[in-house]
Amino acid sequence: MRLLLVEDHPPLAEAVCDALRHAGFAVDHASTAAQALELSDLAEHALILLDLGLPDGDGLRLLPLLRRGGRVPVIVLTARDQLADRLAGLDGGADDYIVKPVEMPELLARARAVLRRPGNRSGTMLRLGPLALDPAARSATVDGTPLVLSRRELGVLEQLMRASGRVVSRQMLEEAVYALDDEVSPNALEAAISRLRRALEAAGCTVPIVNVRGVGWMLPRQDRP
């Protein structure tokens, strides 16, 4: 699951990126409105965290442009804590509002809550045979036993579970799992997939990751949900 952070204050942006990555999300970071529009064009994001005071524009004006008519959830981050601004943010279509200084545990909790809201498909629990994956909590289990996976391994598993029964291309997996400023070595995806395979086998998971040569990877559908 890939998120977009729009924040121009470098220390805060770095702290939020670190916290989100540590929690298992892939994060793209924009420090201007123009950059945010560019990034939202390049990748699909499950959630946008949006600062209101940007050097080249007002975040509230940017919000509908970033959504591009879709329904990506948006959490507004701002130092302006007056009631009027909060209401403007919510009226402007934000799903939640965080007043700076940002407390990271609060930010993570609110991000999970927004992702889990009914109607938000990207946050819905995924199940396939013995496998279950909670996209908002960034955790997965086999028959109820937690799997220990890296951010990338979990990201690969998430995309394969979302598409179970269909082949997922290399490009789609890379887009979902790597943020734009991640350094991606040529074999990084294969390495993550082979670690994921080993973790699934070690957990006694019978669902195989099938490689379709030259096309991509898939998890076959299971009789159980």
> By CB under 5 A, is residue 57 in contact with Ca ion?
no
With a CB cutoff of 8 Å and minimum separation 6, the contacts of 100 are 12, 77, 78, 79, 81
67-126: contacts with Ca ion (CB under 5 A)? none
**CB of 173: closest distance to Ca ion in angstroms?**
33
C-beta of residue 150 within 8 angstroms of C-beta of residue 177: no
C-beta of residue 78 within 8 angstroms of C-beta of residue 89: yes
DSSP H helices in the chain: 10-22, 33-42, 59-67, 83-91, 104-116, 151-162, 170-177, 188-202
**CB of 172: closest distance to Ca ion in angstroms?**
33
**CB of 20: closest distance to Ca ion in angstroms?**
18
Closer CB to Ca ion, residue 54 or residue 108? Answer: 54
d(CA 173, CA 124): 19
The number of residues that bind Ca ion (CB under 5 A) is 3
Stretch that binds Ca ion, among 1-9, 19-27, 107-115, 170-178 (CB under 5 A): 1-9
**CB of 100: closest distance to Ca ion in angstroms?**
9
C-beta of residue 62 within 8 angstroms of C-beta of residue 37: yes
Query: The dihedral of CA 53, 55, 57, 63: what is its sign?
Result: negative
Closer CB to Ca ion, residue 10 or residue 208? Answer: 10
**CB of 65: closest distance to Ca ion in angstroms?**
17
C-beta of residue 159 within 8 angstroms of C-beta of residue 140: no
37-56: contacts with Ca ion (CB under 5 A)? 51, 53
2-31: contacts with Ca ion (CB under 5 A)? 8
155-174: contacts with Ca ion (CB under 5 A)? none
**CB of 48: closest distance to Ca ion in angstroms?**
15
**CB of 55: closest distance to Ca ion in angstroms?**
8
- Within a 13 Å sphere around the CA of 174, how many CA atoms are in the beta-carbon half? 17
DSSP H helices in 68-182: 83-91, 104-116, 151-162, 170-177
Which spans of this chain sit near Ca ion (rule: CB under 5 A)? 8, 51, 53
